[in-house]
Amino acid sequence: MFDYIIVGAGLAGSVLAERITNILGKKVLILEKRNHIGGNCYDYIDKNGIQVHKYGPHIFRTDLKHIYDYLSQFTDWNLYQHEVLGLIDGKKVPIPFNLNTLHELLPENLVEQLEKQLIEHFGFDVKVPILELKKTQDKDLKFLADFIYQKVFLNYTMKQWGFKPEDLDPSVTGRVPVYISKDNRYFQDKYQGIPKEGYTKLFEKMLDSPNIKIMLNTDYNEIMEINPCEISLFDKKYDGKIIFTGEIDEFFKYKYGKLPYRSLSFKFETIKKEYFQEVATVNYPNNNDFTRITEFKHFKPIKTNKTSIAKEYSHEYDKNVKGDIPYYPIPRDKNSEIYEKYKNEAQTVENVIFIGRLAEYRYYSMDNVIESALKVFKEKIINE
Ligand SMILES: Cc1cc2nc3c(=O)[nH]c(=O)nc-3n(C[C@H](O)[C@H](O)[C@H](O)COP(=O)(O)OP(=O)(O)OC[C@H]3O[C@@H](n4cnc5c(N)ncnc54)[C@H](O)[C@@H]3O)c2cc1C
């Protein structure tokens, strides 16, 4: 019998499986409903020989040395620094909006004064969420805030989330702040990169243990009966522990209602050119139905006369549509209230640990979810 059953082979589930087997020598069964490991980080080599990220571009970055060291046990790195451009007023300009973007979009006679005022007001090398910038009383800065809001945030947020920036938790637009700097990099974290042989290989190494059994194409509902105090696996009573990284509302059979998500679809295309665009990701805030185009060759350059791109479309998640995937929890007060009910109930269920973006209904970057899994291992598992 297994000491732990882990639902989900994404980062949260895989880090815990690795720790439980390698540090504690216990036995783990992973149930994964997709046909591969790696969750949303999954990548593969496509027909053009290019490594593509099936569920959208994933760039690893962190300021936490212990997280970088932990992952580096399973991979070497391509030291890649992400840059994003946005098509605004017919020009491709740096995103997040920074002082270089300002110079490209506004007339020179205005820019000098605005730049000076921005630095005087907020300081240099400072990140300011757009909703904060919009609160300034200064007439010129208010003009600038409205300009950035209209050109960069409003339509992109509507396309991506179906809501205006102010109708979402401020953390959403805060993730891409206005950056008072001339640094065009998307992230400023100390450690940044793409796993040299890809994320999937990293997961394979992480899960390479005789004590880990993985069942792919297996929804836990098909082989487990959970009624939270009594759990059975293949109709036999199961007395071990469960680590659950799936949707928390599904676990509790939606008793407090469904938690809404945004979903994505990707249209992959082959372009007969060495490169399609200047950088890995170009955002389209105001044009087209898609939100952005990613060209994967920039992550891991190879010499070919073809290139692979993905156009990304955002839409509401519908659980009843086969293959639809819940990508982003929608941080709004109403949804937090529903989640809190599930969270409170989860605290009363012994033997089940809820962790990860679906089970905690929150956005996690990769480093944060690894950090959270390592913390859970230390605080809840190691001394059991
Ligand atoms: C488009 C996009 C881009 C991103 N880019 C970045 C980035 O550049 N940098 C960064 O740091 N982070 C990025 N992230 C965040 C990153 O994907 C997450 O941090 C990470 O995937 C979270 O891991 P997880 O284990 O919580 O969830 P997941 O990876 O989703 O794993 C959960 C797993 O559980 C499985 N599961 C669910 N229900 C069941 C069930 N009923 N039975 C069996 N299995 C089930 C799912 O199939 C899935 O494989 C991005 C996310 C998205 C959506």
Residue 384 confidence (pLDDT) above 80: no
Residue 119 confidence (pLDDT) above 90: yes
How far is residue 181's CA from residue 100's CA, in Å, rounded to a whole number? 8
Query: Average pLDDT for residues 350-365, to the nearest whole number?
Result: 96
Residue 205 confidence (pLDDT) above 80: yes
Query: Average pLDDT for residues 261-275, to the nearest whole number?
Result: 98
Q: Name which residue sits closest to atom 2 of ligand 1, judged by CA.
A: 56
Kindly indicate the confidence band of residue 229, based on its pLDDT and cuts at 50, 70 and 90: confident
Q: Name which residue sits closest to atom 17 of ligand 1, judged by CA.
A: 40
What pLDDT does residue 65 have?
Answer: 98
| Domains of the chain, residue spans | 4-37+207-258+330-381, 84-180
Closest among 250, 200, 207 to 55, alpha carbons compared? 200
Torsion angle defined by CA atoms of residues 129, 134, 138 and 141, in that order, rounded to the nearest 10 degrees: 70
What pLDDT does residue 211 have?
Answer: 98
Residues paired with 86 in a beta bridge: 93, 283
CA of 365 to the centre of ligand 1 (A): 9
Residue 73, CA atoms < 13 Å, CB-side half-sphere: 15
What pLDDT does residue 382 have?
Answer: 92
Kindly indicate the confidence band of residue 41, based on its pLDDT and cuts at 50, 70 and 90: very high
CA-CA-CA-CA torsion sign (89, 90, 91, 92): positive
Closest among 172, 151, 56 to 95, alpha carbons compared? 151
Return the best residue to mutate from 366, 368, 371 for the ligand 1 pocket (most ligand atoms within 8 A of CB).
366
Report percent pLDDT > 70 for the chain.
100
Reported as a single tens digit per residue, the pLDDT across 143-189 is: 999 999 999 999 999 999 999 999 999 989 888 999 999 999 999 99
Query: Average pLDDT for residues 332-339, to the nearest whole number?
Result: 95
The residues lining ligand 1, judged by C-beta closer than 6 Å to any ligand atom, are: 7-13, 31-34, 39-41, 55-59, 219-221, 245-247, 264, 327, 356-358, 364-367, 369
Q: For residue 258, which phi and psi values (nearest 5 degrees)?
A: -85, 140
Residues 128, 175 contacting (CB under 8 angstroms)? no
Query: Average pLDDT for residues 57-69, to the nearest whole number?
Result: 98
Extract the tokens encoding 27. Answer: 């036995």
Statement: the pTM of the whole predicted model exceeds 0.85: yes
Extract the tokens encoding 226. Answer: 């959970």
CA of 325 to the centre of ligand 1 (A): 10
The atom number, within ligand 1, closest to the CA of 8 reads: 34
Reported as a single tens digit per residue, the pLDDT across 324-335 is: 999 999 999 999
CA of 41 to the centre of ligand 1 (A): 7
CA of 55 to the centre of ligand 1 (A): 9
Q: Name which residue sits closest to atom 34 of ligand 1, judged by CA.
A: 8
Burial 270-307 (b: 16+ CB within 10 A, else e): eeeeeebbebbbbbbbbeeebbbbbbbbbbbeeeeebb
Query: Average pLDDT for residues 80-106, to the nearest whole number?
Result: 97
Query: Average pLDDT for residues 313-341, to the nearest whole number?
Result: 95
Reported as a single tens digit per residue, the pLDDT across 282-303 is: 999 998 999 999 999 999 989 9
Residues 141, 78 contacting (CB under 8 angstroms)? no
What pLDDT does residue 270 have?
Answer: 98
The atom number, within ligand 1, closest to the CA of 264 reads: 1
Residue 57 confidence (pLDDT) above 80: yes
How far is residue 134's CA from residue 178's CA, in Å, rounded to a whole number? 11
Residues 297, 308 contacting (CB under 8 angstroms)? yes
Residue 133 confidence (pLDDT) above 90: yes
Return the best residue to mutate from 34, 55, 245, 279 for the ligand 1 pocket (most ligand atoms within 8 A of CB).
245
CA of 188 to the centre of ligand 1 (A): 23
CA of 377 to the centre of ligand 1 (A): 19
Residue 339, CA atoms < 13 Å, CB-side half-sphere: 19
Count other C-beta atoms under 10 Å from residue 25's C-beta: 10
Give the homologous superfamily in CATH for domain 4-37+207-258+330-381: NAD(P)-binding Rossmann-like Domain (3.40.50.720)
CA of 323 to the centre of ligand 1 (A): 15
What pLDDT does residue 383 have?
Answer: 83
Helices 199-206 and 11-22, interaxial angle, to 10°? 30
Query: Average pLDDT for residues 19-48, to the nearest whole number?
Result: 98
CA of 15 to the centre of ligand 1 (A): 13
Q: Name which residue sits closest to atom 7 of ligand 1, judged by CA.
A: 58
CA of 248 to the centre of ligand 1 (A): 14
* HEC assignment per residue over the chain: CCCEEEECCCHHHHHHHHHHHHCCCCCEEEECCCCCCCHHHCEEECCCCCEEECCCCCCEEECCHHHHHHHHCCCCEECCCCEEEEEECCEEEEECCEHHHHHHHCCHHHHHHHHHHHHHHHCCCEEECHHHHCCCCCHHHHHHHHHHHHHHHHHHHHHHHCCCHHHCCCHHHHCCCEEECCCCECCCCCEEEEECCCHHHHHHHHCCCCCEEEECCCCHHHHEEEECCEEEECCEECCCEEEECCCHHHHCCCCCCCCCEEEEEEEEEEECCCCCCCCCEEECCCCCCCCEEEEHHHCCCCCCCCEEEEEEEEEECCCCCCCCCCCEECCCHHHHHHHHHHHHHHCCCCCEEECCCCCCCCCCCHHHHHHHHHHHHHHHHCCC
Higher per-residue pLDDT: 350 or 74: 74
What pLDDT does residue 1 have?
Answer: 85
What pLDDT does residue 14 have?
Answer: 98
What pLDDT does residue 267 have?
Answer: 98
